[in-house]
Amino acid sequence: MEKIITTKFTQRQLKILLLIFRFSLGANKPDVVFDKKDFFNAGISPYDVEEILKKLLIRRVIQWDPERKKFWINRSLTEWIDKDNKFDNFQIKN
């Protein structure tokens, strides 16, 4: 939690990150199964969620198994990339 607090995130990135945290580690589970529409619970439009997830994935803050629709927090904090990079060719598929 300290790493989340001290890392720069946008408000929407933080909402998604906290939602994943709450339903995975906060529920004593290693991961959580979510569809893109489930992120609406964090107040994130399904139209915006792909771009936000992409940035969190690129920064290695979260990890994702697209076949099982599982998301989890990358617990290897040294792998997190603190600066926000742009990668236009990265796409999330359902």
Give pLDDT, residue 82.
Answer: 77
pTM over 0.75: yes
Q: Note the pLDDT of residue 94.
A: 55
- Per-residue pLDDT reduced to its tens digit, 14-72: 999 999 999 999 999 999 999 888 999 889 988 899 999 999 999 999 999 989 999 99
Which helix (H) or strand (E) covers residue 63, if one does? Answer: strand 62-65
Give the whole-angstrom CA distance, residue 85 versus residue 69. 24
What domains, with CATH codes, occur in the chain? 2-75 (1.10.10.10)
d(CA 40, CA 30): 21
pLDDT of residue 93: 60
Residues 6+ apart with CB under 8 A from 93: 66
pLDDT at res. 85: 47
